[in-house]
Amino acid sequence: MDGLNVSIAFFLLVVGVCQVLRWLSKRLLPPGTHGCLAREFAGSFQLCTSCLELRMLMEMGPWSGGFGLDVVLTLLFLLSAVHGASLDGASANPTVSLQEFLLLESSLAATAGKLLAQAVGAGTGWALTRLYWAWELTQLHFIQNLLAPECSSSIRASLPHAACVEGSCSFLLHLVLLRVRQSHPLYRVPALAVTVTFLTYTAGPFTGAFFNPALATATTFHCSGSSFWDYIQVYWLGPLAGMLAALLLFQGNIPRLFQKNLLYSQKSKYKVPKAKVTAQVEGDKPQRKKKAGKSSSEPRA
């Protein structure tokens, strides 16, 4: 269990360093720069390093570390909750940033800056994690350092099946995200953590369950076994299609592209007060009767 303790210390160190980076950027940088660059860089760096170390535990732990999948899934849930609580509004996911752009919540320049920061953060996280493994602090890291140059593709299904799996994971994640994004963090963070854990458990054997293009690019694109175009289809186009489907299903339209609601009929804001109209109609009857009575009571010639 020494290897597990070292990994937990590594997780805590990464989160602490990223929190310091967020604090410094908030104090020293303008709000726009902090929102578009620093937060996304720190979030992607934190997410990538944690994912790489967790995947190492998942692959090496059962036969070398003495712990099983239950421990790894527990760590995944806790890390997902910590990420959700500490990202400070950053998405650390290109499909989420594109979703914000399509919802008219972010400009084109801000979205491009976020995507660039996410790519740099994920790449930096991959490089520093490889350097950390090279220190070989535990037996798990020693084995991982030996096997890292010979890594194989995470796609363990046919190409259409793998793309469908990543797209379905992205679809479910974005549906939950759209549903709870205005909720209190006390409810939003556990809901997203449970969703990520469930999707990783179910889709992991087929594609590794990344549903994050930046994370997948830094983690598995350099591995042999699949072509670059295969990776693009599974880890970029699949999650993007899932995000678009979730947004269309939830909103009924895509505000950046068209305003017309294609799925749900929009009711008019102004309703005719039927009760008053009925009352007026019924109220007219006595008046008509009175008029009729008057006409009948008039003296006849």
Nearest by Cα to 48 from 6, 10, 92, 86:
92
State the helix-helix crossing angle for 213-220 and 39-60, rounded to 10 degrees: 50
Report the C-alpha gap between 209 and 269 in whole angstroms. 43
Report the C-alpha gap between 237 and 176 in whole angstroms. 20
Tokens of 19: 């929190």
Does residue 176 belong to any structural domain of this protein? yes
Report the C-alpha gap between 192 and 144 in whole angstroms. 29
Does residue 264 belong to any structural domain of this protein? no
User: How does the average pLDDT of the chain come out, rounded?
Assistant: 85
Does residue 297 belong to any structural domain of this protein? no
Contacts of residue 4, defined as CB under 8 A and 6 or more positions apart, other chains included, come to 57, 61, 65, 67, 71
Number of domains forming the structure of the chain:
1
Taking residues 266-279, report their average pLDDT: 51
Any idea what the CATH number is for the domain that residue 241 is in?
1.20.1080.10
Does residue 175 belong to any structural domain of this protein? yes
Does residue 78 belong to any structural domain of this protein? yes
Report the C-alpha gap between 127 and 45 in whole angstroms. 10
pLDDT for the residue numbered 160: 95
Q: Which domain holds residue 195?
A: 1-251
pLDDT tens-digit series, residues 107-120: 898 899 999 999 99
Does residue 274 belong to any structural domain of this protein? no
Report the C-alpha gap between 30 and 33 in whole angstroms. 5
Q: Which residues pair with 298 in a beta bridge?
A: none
pLDDT tens-digit series, residues 73-103: 999 999 999 999 998 888 899 999 999 999 9
Does residue 91 belong to any structural domain of this protein? yes
Taking residues 167-172, report their average pLDDT: 96
Residue 3: pLDDT band with limits 50, 70, 90: confident
Nearest by Cα to 49 from 115, 123, 117:
123
Does residue 50 belong to any structural domain of this protein? yes
| pTM of the complete model | 0.83
Which letter does DSSP use for residue 223 in this model? S
